[in-house]
A and B are shown apart, each in its own frame.
Chain A
Amino acid sequence: DAGVIQSPRHEVTEMGQEVTLRCKPISGHDYLFWYRQTMMRGLELLIYFNNNVPIDDSGMPEDRFSAKMPNASFSTLKIQPSEPRDSAVYFCASSLQSGARGANVLTFGAGSRLTVL
């Protein structure tokens, strides 16, 4: 398997523009997570899905952020309009529900580095 695939790897945009980040999870995984990493706040969970359904979006910072998972192999994180404070590395991760005695392990993508000027 190619792992979790994220695109673009780098995005530079101007304030006010719409940004769309994309993620392809590992085939067969039933959970998908979006995290944001900044120097100031570290790694923050934004939202996660189970079987394509959003379970917890309490980490989404504002209404400017939205995430979708239209099918098991694709998810998007959209920021509209973007602001300089959104500059960060955004990670997608996926996992497969383990058995009752197990613990799911997240597999991370390489990240999308967003710079908003």
Chain B
Amino acid sequence: AQSVTQLGSHVSVSEGALVLLRCNYSSSVPPYLFWYVQYPNQGLQLLLKYTTGATLVKGINGFEAEFKKSETSFHLTKPSAHMSDAAEYFCAVSDRDNQGGKLIFGQGTELSVKP
């Protein structure tokens, strides 16, 4: 069965500092991988996804993630944090057959950005 582990339920960075949110997955075959962001009292929004091809994926708001098969990881990074990045971030996986986009989510990482 697939699973996702996000290391660190809370991450705090200073404005302008590097953001690194960690995600490891467990799957018998390389899955599709996603990062979603949830702002307070809102639904989840897609940040980026990896399906095939280039392992470094760029998303919205300056975020990117790199698929590393050997490490079964899909960590999310942003070179310089902005106050508006404060939110909860979810890593998710789906099967290659995708089943309409059925996702298994990690527990989430809350990102705080200090001025």
Contact = CB atoms under 8 A, between A and B. Distances in A.
Contact of A111 (B43, B101, B104): B43
B104 A103 contact: no
Chain B: interface size category: 20 to 34
Contact of B44 (A30, A97, A108): A108
Interface stretch (A11-19, A41-49, A63-71, A76-84): A41-49
Chain B interface helix/strand/loop/mixed: mixed
Contacts of A101: 51-52
B44 A103 contact: no
Given A42-B108, A103-B51, A95 B43 contact: no
Contacts of B106: 42
Interface string B73-97: 0000000000000000010001000
Interface of B: 32, 34, 36, 41-46, 49, 51-52, 90, 94, 98-108
Interface of A: 4, 30-31, 33, 42-43, 45, 48, 50, 55-56, 91, 93, 95, 97-98, 101-111
